[in-house]
């Protein structure tokens, strides 16, 4: 990503963050931990192919019904839950609107993210490819092959995460004769790996807690019960891109 694009992303993110701050000041809404107790989604609730986004909805950081999500709400959810900086959220957040079926160009439903080729891509760490029929639901057999790379480790290093991702991308075409992935989608794939390393690890050094990562992917729940705490330091876009580069180089 060029420095100009990063600057533009930061400017837009600051504008969103400022608007969110004003809205909070006006509403004076107190944050209560009870608001964010994990709840299993109802059959009518919308969910995405992304475990983290689903976890935020299951905890109530995003609408629990998964409907009508704005970029401002998305930014607030990631900030409140895992202290992801607005610009980092917008790395992928803007693309969400391209898949929207809400008839409002400024919002999207979580299941809109299942639209193939916008953000969702072949070779997911935890979902089947669209050619196989269901690119939306958690696929235990897909995730089991990924998780096997770190099943006996307490933490997941950058190198281990990169190997797991590389193996999944190598296995996917053997299962899916219509496998296809663009350079942009490969970028999203490495961002997905870098995010779980960043959120559940030691900054840009990786070493994510295996138990926490498995809780996210397998239960679509933030691992508060397992000891996870929201990072005190904001997770910035430069951190995500730094880890992304390390993941790609390690592969």
Write out pLDDT tens, residues 110-144: 999 999 999 999 999 999 999 999 999 999 999 99
Alpha-carbon distance of 168 to 226, in angstroms, equals 27
Nearest CA-CA partner of 248 in 205, 186, 199: 186
Nearest CA-CA partner of 231 in 209, 215, 250: 209
Assess contact for 93 and 71: CB atoms under 8 A.
Answer: yes
The pLDDT-based confidence of 26 (bands split at 50, 70, 90) is very low
Mean pLDDT along residues 193-212: 98
Range of the domain at 98: 3-250
Assess contact for 96 and 74: CB atoms under 8 A.
Answer: yes
Give the other-Cβ count within 10 Å of 94's Cβ: 12
What pLDDT was estimated at residue 14?
Answer: 55
| Residue 95 Ramachandran class (φ > 0 left, ψ -120 to 50 alpha, else beta) | alpha
Q: Mind listing the pLDDT tens digit for each residue in 70-104?
A: 999 999 999 999 999 999 999 889 999 999 999 99
What pLDDT was estimated at residue 1?
Answer: 61
Q: What does pTM read for this prediction?
A: 0.88
pLDDT of 27 higher than 60: no
Structurally, the chain folds into a number of domains equal to: 1
Q: What is the CATH number of the domain that holds 246?
A: 1.10.489.10
What pLDDT was estimated at residue 15?
Answer: 52
The pLDDT-based confidence of 35 (bands split at 50, 70, 90) is confident
The pLDDT-based confidence of 214 (bands split at 50, 70, 90) is very high
Average pLDDT, the chain: 91
Mean pLDDT along residues 145-157: 97
Q: What percent of the chain has pLDDT over 70?
A: 86
Which of 16-20, 174-178, 194-198 is least confident? 16-20
Mean pLDDT along residues 147-159: 97
Which of 33-42, 130-139, 147-156, 221-230 is least confident? 33-42
Residue with the larger pLDDT of the pair 15 and 130: 130
């Amino acid at each position: 990503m060029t420095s100009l694009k990063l600057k533009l992303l930061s400017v837009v993110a600051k504008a969103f963050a400022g608007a969110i701050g004003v809205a909070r000041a006006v509403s004076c809404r107190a944050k209560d931990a009870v608001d964010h107790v994990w709840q299993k989604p109802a059959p009518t609730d919308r969910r995405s192919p992304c475990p983290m986004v689903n976890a935020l909805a299951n905890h109530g950081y995003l609408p629990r019904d998964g409907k009508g999500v704005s970029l401002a709400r998305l930014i607030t959810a990631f900030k409140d839950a895992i202290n992801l900086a607005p610009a980092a959220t917008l790395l992928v957040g803007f693309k969400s609107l391209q898949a929207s079926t809400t008839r409002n160009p400024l919002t999207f439903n979580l299941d809109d993210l299942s639209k193939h080729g916008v953000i969702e891509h072949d070779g997911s760490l935890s979902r089947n490819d669209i050619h196989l029929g269901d690119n939306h639901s958690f696929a235990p057999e897909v995730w089991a092959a990924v998780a096997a790379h770190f099943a006996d480790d307490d933490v997941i290093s950058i190198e281990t995460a990169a190997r797991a991702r590389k193996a999944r991308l190598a296995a996917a075409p053997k299962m899916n004769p219509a496998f296809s992935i663009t350079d942009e989608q490969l970028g999203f794939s490495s961002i997905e790996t870098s995010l779980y390393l960043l959120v559940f690890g030691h900054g840009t050094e990786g070493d994510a807690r295996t138990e926490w990562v498995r809780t996210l992917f397998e239960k679509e729940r933030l691992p508060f019960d397992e000891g996870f705490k929201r990072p005190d330091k904001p997770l910035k876009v430069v951190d995500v891109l730094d880890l992304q580069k390390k993941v790609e180089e390690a592969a």
